[in-house]
Amino acid sequence: MAAVALVQGASRGLGLEFCKQILLNKSPACVIATCRNPENAVELLNLAAQHPGKVTVLKLDVNREDDISSAAEKVKRSFGTLDLIINSSAMLHPSGKGETSLRDVSAQGVISTLTTNTVGPLVVAKYFAPLLQKGAGLFGQQPPEKAKQHSGIIVNMTAKVGSIGDNALGGWYSYRMSKAALNMATRNLSIELGRSRLRVVCVSMHPGTVDTELSRPYHRNMPKERLFSTQHSVHCLLGIIDTLNIDKTGKAYNWDGSELPW
């Protein structure tokens, strides 16, 4: 039986790397790769061509509920089930820079960031959770007790700056708020999707500071040893996913496997 993983935000950065490493390390596996503009996703389309029959590329703009609903219907018809969802797409701010003070805050900037980083992943869960509940639990660890088994996993990509308890510097209002709210969504999902017989593990994960477009404006003062490649970060995160079970649901994890305070 082939594992089926859906990566939301798969055209670049962490999302694209998740697709690559799942195909390489989780055999047999099928990857459903979604992004806003598939026709412009050259690297993703090349990856699909290199793995015929194993990669399905779908249009999904996380800001449009009708896109999410339509993609879920297509996955239901073609696969009927899912084992893993990774909500990967995110934005720092519409301007590309986090707000350094209150005077930089705008209502539209906050709304846009929350829509992409928080509302989008939650609506993805709404439409795709029924397919996870039909999954075979082919990602993570299945304990011997049948009562504790899970059918699927949702991973929401969070950030350490979204931790309220860890925030000592302030700033970045929109991004911090969006990730803190995403963590609350993860917690809520873990409770609701953990009640039924076919339970879904729901976690948030912090990938570290990764060399992607989102964080690139802030690399100047970052020590090299703390700046990760997408390959290293995703390798670490998939290692954590391999250890997940229903007892670990509803939590946030750092790239090194340590628990991140809310």
pLDDT digits (tens, 9 = 90+) for 81-91: 999 999 999 99
Does this model's pTM top 0.85? My answer is: yes
Residue 259 lies in a domain: no
Domains identified in the chain, total number: 1
Backbone conformation region of residue 53, classed left if phi is above 0, alpha if psi is from -120 to 50, else beta: left
Tell me, yes or no, whether 261 lies in a domain.
no
- 21 pLDDT higher than 70: yes
pLDDT at res. 139: 97
- Note the helical H segments in 115-259: 120-132, 173-192, 230-241
Position 146 confidence tier, pLDDT thresholds 50, 70, 90: confident
Amino acid of residue 171: G
Name the least confident of 15-29, 126-140, 178-192, 223-237: 223-237
Per-residue pLDDT band for 197 (boundaries 50, 70, 90) equals confident
pLDDT score, position 210: 87
Q: Report the distance separating Cα 117 and Cα 191, nearest Å.
A: 21
In a domain, 260, yes or no: no
* Residues 31, 57 contacting (CB under 8 angstroms): no
Q: Is 131 left (phi over 0), alpha (psi -120 to 50) or beta?
A: alpha
Is 122 within the bounds of a domain?
yes
For residue 117, give its domain range. 3-253
Q: How many angstroms separate the CA atoms of 37 and 239, rounded? A: 30
pLDDT, averaged across the chain: 93
Which DSSP state fits 115? I
**Which tokens hold the place of 73?**
């219907």
Does the pLDDT of residue 35 top 80, yes or no? yes
What CATH number should be reported for the domain holding residue 114? 3.40.50.720
CA atoms within 13 A on the CB side of 129: 18
Within-domain flag for 258: no
Residue 88 lies in a domain: yes
Strand-pairing partners, residue 208, are none
In the chain, what is the greatest distance between 2 CA atoms, to the nearest angstrom? 55
pLDDT at 202 over 60: yes
For residues 93 and 113, the answer to whether their CB atoms sit within 8 Å is yes
| Cβ atoms 7, 34 nearer than 8 A | yes
Q: How confident is the model at residue 56 (pLDDT cuts 50, 70, 90)?
A: very high
Residue 8 has pLDDT above 80, yes or no: yes
pLDDT top residue among 211 and 79: 79
Contacts of 112 (CB under 8 A, 6+ apart): 91, 93, 94, 174
Q: Exposed/middle/buried for 142, CB within 10 Å: 0-12, 13-18, 19+?
A: middle
Is the per-residue pLDDT at 244 higher than 60?
yes
- Tokens 């005077």 sit at which residue? 103
